[in-house]
Amino acid sequence: MTDLNVWLAAYRDERSVEGWLDPKAFDFVLAMDAALGSDMPGGVLEIGVHHGRFFIALNAMVSDGSTSVALDVFDAQHLNIDQSGRGSHSRFQENLKLFDRHGGENVRALEADSTTITPEEVLACAGGRRFKVISIDGGHTAEHTISDLQLSKAVLAQEGFIVVDDILNRHWLGVIDGVTQYLRTRPSLWPLAIGHNKLVMCRMSAWARHRDSFANLCDIRKSSRLCGYEILVV
Ligand SMILES: C[S@@+](CC[C@H](N)C(=O)[O-])C[C@H]1O[C@@H](n2cnc3c(N)ncnc32)[C@H](O)[C@@H]1O
> Residue 176 is inside which H or E element, if any?
helix 173-183
Average pLDDT, integer, range 181-200: 98
Spacing, Cα 203 to ligand 1 middle (Å): 24
Interatomic CA distance for residues 54 and 49, integer angstroms? 8
Spacing, Cα 77 to ligand 1 middle (Å): 10
Spacing, Cα 215 to ligand 1 middle (Å): 30
Q: Give SS3 for 74.
A: coil
Q: What is the pLDDT of residues 127-165, one digit of tens each?
A: 999 999 999 999 999 999 999 999 999 999 999 999 999
Q: What is the pLDDT of residues 64-117, one digit of tens each?
A: 999 999 999 999 999 999 998 888 899 999 999 999 999 999 999 999 999 999
- Residue 123 reports pLDDT greater than 80: yes
So what's the pLDDT on residue 206? Answer: 98
Higher model confidence: residue 22 or residue 214?
214
For ligand 1, what atom is nearest to the CA of residue 55?
A: 8
For ligand 1, what atom is nearest to the CA of residue 165?
A: 6
So what's the pLDDT on residue 120? Answer: 98
Q: Give SS3 for 165.
A: strand
So what's the pLDDT on residue 91? Answer: 95
Q: How many CA atoms are closer than 13 Å to the CA of 182, on its beta-carbon side?
A: 26
Strands (E), the chain: 44-47, 68-72, 107-111, 131-136, 156-165, 189-195, 198-203, 222-226, 229-233
Q: How many other C-beta atoms lie within 10 A of the C-beta of residue 89?
A: 16
Choosing from 18, 21, 50, 115 the residue with most ligand 1 atoms within 8 A of its CB, the one to mutate for a pocket test is: 50
Q: What is the pLDDT of residues 29-78, one digit of tens each?
A: 999 999 999 999 999 999 999 999 999 999 999 999 999 999 999 999 99
Spacing, Cα 87 to ligand 1 middle (Å): 6
Spacing, Cα 197 to ligand 1 middle (Å): 16
Higher model confidence: residue 21 or residue 200?
200
Residue 63: C-alpha distances to residues 101, 167, 186, 214 (Å): 10, 29, 33, 21
So what's the pLDDT on residue 214? Answer: 97
List beta partners, residue 103.
none
Spacing, Cα 208 to ligand 1 middle (Å): 31
The CATH architecture of the domain made up of 3-233 is 3-Layer(aba) Sandwich (3.40)
Is residue 15 very low, low, confident or very high in pLDDT (cuts 50, 70, 90)? confident
| Residues within a 6 A CB radius of ligand 1 | 19-21, 47-50, 53-54, 71-73, 79-80, 84-87, 113-115, 137-139, 144
Interatomic CA distance for residues 162 and 189, integer angstroms? 9
So what's the pLDDT on residue 143? Answer: 98
